[in-house]
Every structure is written in structure tokens, then in C-alpha cells.
Amino acid sequence: MDAYMVTFQEHGDERGMLVALEYEKECPFPIKRVYYMYDTKEKVRRGYHAHRNLQQLLICVNGSCKIHLDDGEETKEIILDTPQKGLYLGNGIWREMYDFTPGTVLMSLASELYDETDYIRDYQQFIEEKKKNL
């Protein structure tokens, strides 16, 4: 599965902590878009899509959530619970985000601008596209 965790260098002192994300250091792709999810209601499961051509780095900058990943061959459950770590996601990974604790802010750095035609929002369609691309 083209997904892995990245641990960021923390710049901390007695005042508190800071993490910096730069292209080719912490983030392997040039960042074209940043968005963040917050105020996600209890028991909500969101996502339910894959992207045909989009790399992302997901960072839970506050709180915690879980992410279910599926590349058509294997599945993984990831917990994001620290701003010091990010989850890199390559193309063609179905994702569902859930168990958001109150106050969670899930930020996404993305390699492309928002494009609805890049989304696969139907799971069966996702599986069919993955089979064709194997």
C-alpha cells in the first residue's frame, strides 16, 4: 500500500512546540492546496472516497481520529493522535475517517487543486478501477 507514517522534527523549547513542513523535506510533493476538517460530529464517519491522482499528507494538528485505508488488496487502520506525525497517502487509496475526538482538527496537504472528477466515491467503482490498473 502506498501509505506510510512520517515523523516530523519538533522544534521545542520552554515556550512550546513547533513543526515546520517543507516540500522535499517533510512533504514529498509540491503542495498546491491545504484544507482542514474540524468540528466533526461524534460518531460521524467521513471520507468514503479514493483519488485517481492525488498525493496527500494528513496531519491531526489537534485531537485524534482513526483512518481506515484500503488499496483494493489490503486494509489498514491508522490512528492519528499527535501533531508530530503525518500520514502520507499516494494515489488510489480508499479512506474512511472516524472516531474523531471533540476538538479534532485534521489537516490535509494536497498535491493538486480540488477537482471533483478526481474522486471515486463508489466503492465498487474503486475496486473495478483498481483491477483495470493492475
Hey, which residues are catalytic here?
49
Distance in angstroms (rounded) separating the CA atoms of residues 2 and 100: 24
Cell numbers describing residue 9: 522534527
- Which residues are at the interface with ligand TYD (CB under 6 A)? 33, 35, 46-47, 49, 114
Q: Which of 70, 49, 48 is nearest to 2 (CA)?
A: 70
Q: Which of 4, 113, 8, 108 is nearest to 56 (CA)?
A: 108
For ligand TYD, the closer CB: 47 or 63 = 47
For ligand TYD, the closer CB: 13 or 116 = 116
For ligand TYD, the closer CB: 23 or 38 = 38
Task: Compute the least distance from the CB of residue 77 to ligand TYD, in Å.
Answer: 17
